[in-house]
Amino acid sequence: MKKLMVTDKYNGKKLSKFIFDSFPKLSTNTFYKALRHKDIKINNSRINKDCIINSGDEILVYIADSLLCPSINLNIIFEDDNILIIDKPVNIEVTGNDSLNSIVHNKYSNSSFLPMPCHRIDRNTTGLVLFAKNEKSLNILLDKFKKHEIKKYYQALVYGIPKVKSARLEAYLFKDTKKSIVYISDTFKPGYQKIITSYSVIKSFDNNTRLLNVEIETGRTHQIRAHLAYIGFPIVGDGKYGINSVNKSLGYKYQQLCSYKLMFNFLTDAGVLNYLNGKSFEKLDLHF
């Protein structure tokens, strides 16, 4: 049994939206079967149909953990005594309940130090996530990310034809935490933070899509997705910043964005991790 509390974000939303966001691996059939069998309670009352929920509601879910959170096999790209690089699949958060982090902690539960993620990518963005396997490495890597001495490269499938084949874009981003969305502006406004996004066209396709290589010099929430959409080239499959009719016609349910490469470019001493300087790690099985 799982106990959940409804937050303000889901006030007035359908129960199904809340449940599927809480348990992204749960199948639709299993959810509606649980409703039919009255295996879900709201405020201690059993229900047999999808309904509207409110902030502060207590929801009890009587569905087996194996169905709520099916296990996934970790696709480990590289591992040594200090770091762990994992290829994250779609539809799973890096941190939080039932996340990539919790799966890693379960796998390494007998270790003296539980590996910790050094950065994040969105739930529906796939690709490489770097974990530290000891406290010394964690402190070094967090500092290196802060100093931009670890570079992340992405590939994105976008809709539209950029006239400029390669560009370095500067803008400003505002994060609306309550709505879980960000806004882009060409000029500075109070509350906005500067962002820098670079792209180059890798390949063109007949269906008006283009494959881009993307690099960010600032790591803001939804930066790549929102910035590319702002200049007129939304990522295919992106339900928040993309074009739903295009996503549907092309058959993509999730944003086609992948963090495919990590490069260590240390400009200052990295202590026990100096051996990583100049090395890069890449995901080769891209499916764009």
Residue in the block written with tokens 């490469």:
261
Please work out, in degrees rounded to the nearest 5, the angle formed at the alpha carbon of residue 171 by the alpha carbons of 165 and 176.
125
Distance CA 125, CA 127 (A): 7
Q: Residues 123-151: pLDDT tens digits?
A: 999 999 999 999 999 999 999 999 999 99
- Tell me the mean pLDDT in the region 232-248: 96
User: How does DSSP assign the chain, residue by residue?
Assistant: -EEEE--GGGTT-BHHHHHHHH-TT--HHHHHHHHHTT-EEETTEEESS--B--TT-EEEE-S-HHHHS------EEEE-SSEEEEEE-SS--SSSTTSHHHHHHHHTTTSSS--EESS---TT-EEEEEEESSHHHHHHHHHHHHTT-EEEEEEEEEES--SSSEEEEEEEEEEETTTTEEEEESS--TT-EEEEEEEEEEEE-TTSEEEEEEEESS--TTHHHHHHHHTT-PBTT-TTTS-HHHHHHHT-SS--EEEEEEEE--SS--GGGGGGTT-EEE------
Residue 221: Cβ-neighbour burial (10 angstroms; 0-12, 13-18, 19+)? middle
Domains belonging to the chain, first-starting first, are 2-68 (3.10.290.10), 154-259 (3.30.2350.10)
Candidates 39, 87, 98, 122; catalytic one: 122
Q: Residues 176-226: pLDDT tens digits?
A: 999 999 999 999 999 999 999 999 999 999 999 999 999 999 989 999 999
- Catalytic site residue 87? no
Is residue 23 within 8 A of residue 70, CB to CB? The reply is no
- Tell me the mean pLDDT in the region 34-51: 95
The pLDDT value given to residue 142: 97
Give Cα 14 distance to the centre of its chain: 23
pTM of the model: 0.77
Distance CA 84, CA 151 (A): 16
Task: Name the average pLDDT for the chain.
Answer: 94
